[in-house]
Structure 1
Amino acid sequence: MNTDRFKENFLSFMNGCEFIYSEFKNGDFGDLQRVEVESFNKMGAVEFWSSGWVGIDLVDCVSGTQEISVLLSPEQRDLVDGELRRFADLMARR
């Protein structure tokens, strides 16, 4: 999974969201592709590491509740799509 696949599969579910893309080299788990998402009083980030790790965080800015905070290892790659669907669904809710 990377930002290109994220764009293809999940962006259409997050209408009205703003996206910021960034890349960083030589991080803790290799190179990092990061997508920051803001919408409807929520903000979150999805991080794709070149070593296969995926981090997903989502905060409700009104309540201050952290709705998602997961770091998935390469061995958990079968869970990534489900967590990204959950992220997209929560981001789209008003």
Structure 2
Amino acid sequence: MSAPAKTMFYKIIQKKSTIGMPPWVRRNIQLLGLRKRLDVSYQRVSPSTAHRIAAVKEMVEIELVEQPKTREQVANERKPSPGFVLLKSN
């Protein structure tokens, strides 16, 4: 018997705004789980998802990942460094 295949996910980042776009483009972006520019969504790899991505490929950035991240993990990745390092506290 072969091992079960790993479930892969698309990490989808919306790079452009939907302002002025046709309704079908806005609908595809919404179905991909995106709401605004620089929003991140994770979708399971499937033919229907691939078709939606192909319809809006100029507006999104795609990465193939093995495990989706939670909203908290994505938010923590985006936090900038404070700009200083605390060496010693009293």
**TM-score under structure 1 length normalisation:** 0.22
Higher relative contact order structure (alpha carbons within 8 Å, sequence separation ≥ 6):
2
Answer 1 or 2: which has greater strand percent: 1
**TM-score under structure 2 length normalisation:** 0.23
Larger Rg: 2
